[in-house]
Structure 1
C-alpha cells in the first residue's frame, strides 16, 4: 500500500532536515574537533532525536488516525461496537499527544541552539547583553507551554477516552492548546531575530553575502507564517492533515535557518583540502603546542560580523581586498571590542605593535584612542 502524499512529504522533509543536521555535526567535527564543541553543537543532538520521534509520531497518526477527528456520534458507535475496534484510534491519539509535545520541545531546542550560537557570534557587541535574557525567556515560555498542554486536562488519559466527550480542555486541537503556545512561539522568534539584526544587516559586504543574510532573515519570517498557518488550519478550517504538513515545513525551514551559517565552510575548497587547510578560509586557527594545542572557533570572532555606528575609523579586519578577491569585510570600530588573534604569517610579529596584521587593527585603533 502506497503512502499518502502528506506522509511522503513528511519523510522527505525529515530526510533532508536530518542530512542538514548531520552535515552540521560533521562540519564542526572536522573543523574544530569534538573536544572543542560548544553548547549549540551538543544541543543539536537531542534536537535531532526529538525531530525523529516527532516524525515517527506523525507517521503513526497518519496510519491510525485519532479520535478527535471523529464526531461524537461516530465515537459513540465505536464505543458500543466490537471490543478492540477503537484500539488503533486510541493508539493514534496517544501518539498525537506525543507528537505535540515533541514538536514544542524540538522548536524550543532550536531556539536555544540559535541563542548559544549568537552568544559566540556577537560577543563583545552591545547586543550581547540581550542573549541571557532571551535564553531565560525561551526557557520560561517552554515551561509555560508544557504547563498549558498538560495541566488543564486532569487526569491526562482523558485525552484518549472514546466516549463520552472528554470536554473542551482534553483535546489536543483545543484553542487553549494552540493559541497560547503560538503566541509564545512568535514572541520568542521575534526576540531571537531582533538580537543580531542591528549589527548584521548594516554590514559592509558584497551584494551576494548581503542577499544571503536577508534570505536567512526572511526564512525566519516564513517560520512564523508556517506556525500561524498550522493553527489556522486546525481552528478555522478543521483540517488536521494540512496543519500537520505545515508543521513539518516549519520544522524543516527552522533547521536550515539555524544551521546554514555553520555549513558555509563545506562549500569552500579549504574544507576539502588537507589537514592544514581545514577551515583556513574562515579563520580556524590553533594555539599552543603538543597536547596543549587548542583550536580557536571561527564563530567566536565577533568582529567578523559587526559594524558599530558612530564616528568610527573603518578598518579591514577579515583580510585585504587582494587576499579575498576584492571582497574584504570592512567594519567600523569605535570602542574596545574583544578580538581573538589568529596565527601570524611566518616572520611577522603578531604582537600589539604590528598594525599591518589585519586581526590586530582593532586593537591598534583602540591603542591610538587611549594615547598608546
Structure 2
C-alpha cells in the first residue's frame, strides 16, 4: 500500500491532469463556438500533441511513486550496491524506477517544447502584418528547434553506454542517475528559461506600444508574462532535485508534473480568457439593461417611433480599423498603421452580435460619413449594433460586442 505522502501525490497528479483536460476542452470550445472548425490552426494541433505528452508524463510520475516506490539507482552507498541481490524485489524496483525516470524526463522536455511551439505559432498569427515580426518568428523556430535537439542530445549522451542509466552495481556516476543528473537538470532549466524569455519578448513590446486603454493593456501584459511563473517553477524543480534528490528520488516526478501543469494552463490562457470575459460582460450588460428599463419609464426605442422603419433581429459582421490603433480580435490579429508599412488583418469569422437595432455607417478614407465601401476598396466600414433609448433630457445607448479576445475600446 502506498504511504500517505504517496497517496497525496497520486491524488495531486490526477487532479492536475483532470484540470489540464478541462482547460484544453475550454480552449477548443472557444475556437469551435465562435469561429467553427475551419478556424483551427497549427497551434491547436500542437496543443493536442502536447496534452497527449502531458498524459504520458503524468503516467510516468504515477508509476515512479505508486509502482516503483520512488526508488531509482541513486541514494545508495557502494556497500549497499554490492550487498543488493540482483534477484531481489528492491533491485527490480530500482531498475524499473530508473527506466521510468528516463522516459519521464524525455516526455517532460518534449511537452515543454511543444508548448513553446504552440506559443510561437499563436504569436505568428497574432502579429501578422506587424513590421519585422516575421523575423522574430523565424528566429524563434530555429531557437526552439536547436534547444530541443540539444536537450535530447544531453538526455541520450550524458551517459554512455545508455543502459548504464539503470545500472545498480557498480555505481554508474551522477550523469547516469536520471533522477538526480546534475548535467541534465541544469541544462534543461537553462534552455527552458532562455527560450521563455525570448518568447515573451515577442508580444510584450507590441502590447506596451499599443493604443489600448491601460486596463486592457495590463490584462494582456499579465497574460503574456506567464513565462515568469513557468520559469519560477522550473527553477524550483531544479533546486529540489539537486538538494533533495538523494533523499527522495521522486522529487523529479513531483516538480515535473507541477511545472508541466502550469505551462499547459498558461499556454491556453489567451484562448480560455475570452470565455470568462464574455460571461462577465453579458452579466454586466443584462444588469445595465434591467436598470435602464426600470429607470427610463418615459423613454421609447427608436424602432417604435412613428414613421421609423425598424429592422430588428439582423446580424452583421463587424469590421473596425483605425490608423495607429491596436485591436485584439477573434483571430488574434494585431491591427497596425498602414503608414508604417503594416497591413490590416481582417477577421476570419463573424462576431456573434445580439439581435438589436443595427445602424450602418460608412466612412471614406478622409473620415467623411456616406462614402461607399466595396469588397476591395480601402474604405473603412463600421457596423455598430446599438439599441438607443431617447428620453426628454438625455439620450442613452447600450451596446454589446462579442468575440474571443476582442478588447472593446
TM-score, normalization by structure 1: 0.75
Shift of 1:83: 4.0
Shift of 1:171: 1.5
**Counterparts of residues 54-133 of structure 1 (less than 5 Å):** 54-63=57-66, 64=68, 65-72=70-77, 73-79=79-85, 82-126=87-131, 127-133=133-139
Counterpart selection for 2:18 from 15, 23, 31: 15
Can you list the C-alpha shifts for 1:275-304, whole angstroms capped at 9, x where unaligned?
Answer: x99997899xxxxxxxxxxxxx8325221x
Say if 2:299 is the partner of 1:299. no
Look up the match of 1:263: 272
Say if 2:155 is the partner of 1:152. no
Can you list the C-alpha shifts for 1:96-122, whole angstroms capped at 9, x where unaligned?
Answer: 111000000000000000000000001
Change (3 A) 1:279 1:260: farther
Q: Whose radius of gyration is greater, 1 or 2?
A: 2
Q: Flag structure 2 segments of 5+ consecutive residues without an equivalent.
A: 283-312, 321-328, 352-357, 363-371, 385-409
Look up the match of 1:336: 341
Say if 2:217 is the partner of 1:221. no
Q: Flag structure 1 segments of 5+ consecutive residues without an equivalent.
A: 284-296, 307-331, 360-372
Shift of 1:212: 2.1
**Counterparts of residues 140-179 of structure 1 (less than 5 Å):** 140-172=146-178, 173-179=180-186
Shift of 1:37: 1.7
Name the count of aligned residue pairs.
Answer: 315
Q: State how far apart, in whole Å, the 1-side matches of 2:52 and 2:28 are.
A: 14
TM-score, normalization by structure 2: 0.68
Can you list the C-alpha shifts for 1:311-354, whole angstroms capped at 9, x where unaligned?
Answer: xxxxxxxxxxxxxxxxxxxxx66423222345798866543353
> Structure 1 or 2: larger helix share?
1
**Counterparts of residues 282-361 of structure 1 (less than 5 Å):** 298-303=330-335, 334-341=339-346, 349-351=372-374, 352=377, 354-355=379-380, 357=382
Instruction: Give the secondary structure class of the aligned counterpart of 1:144.
Output: helix
Question: 2:200, 2:225 within 8 Å by CA — same for their partners in 1?
Answer: no
Q: State how far apart, in whole Å, the 2-side matches of 1:137 and 1:358 are.
A: 43
